[in-house]
Amino acid sequence: MALAGALCLLLNTVAGFTNRSLRAHVAGLLGATYSSHQMTYDLRRLRLNGLIRRLEHSNTYVLRVALFYTKVHDRLLAPLLAADRPPAPPPLRAALRVVDSTVDDYIDHARLKVAA
């Protein structure tokens, strides 16, 4: 969750981000140390899954925002929004309420504030 939160903080960074800059944000969100090796592993996983790409001849990465939002929409938002419509079976609507409650718990645990 901290890695996703740190990436959201960096969405507006046009110049990209480095292992060091992202690691500082992740450590801040975790409230604990986060090693360079852990960050390298996470960056590799993000790159292999197509969410970030490394700029040539540098140690800078950029977030592939369009791909990120497309994956979030297709895999998470569309099914969840469709499940809350009345034709959806009651067990599916109940599962959506559980997911909603769990997300609220994660937000409370991460101490994220409501956007103004």
Give the pLDDT confidence of 1-24 residue by residue, as tens digits: 678 777 777 655 677 889 998 899
Across the chain, how many H-helices and E-strands are there? Answer: 6, 2
Collapsed DSSP state (helix, strand, coil) of residue 79: helix
Residue pLDDT, tens place only, 62-86: 887 666 666 677 777 777 776 656 6
Burial 58-97 (b: 16+ CB within 10 A, else e): eebbebbeeebeeeeeeeeeeeeeebeeeeeeeeeeeebe
- Averaged pLDDT of the chain: 79
Q: How far is CA 31 from CA 23, 25, 39, 70, 109, in A?
A: 12, 10, 15, 30, 12
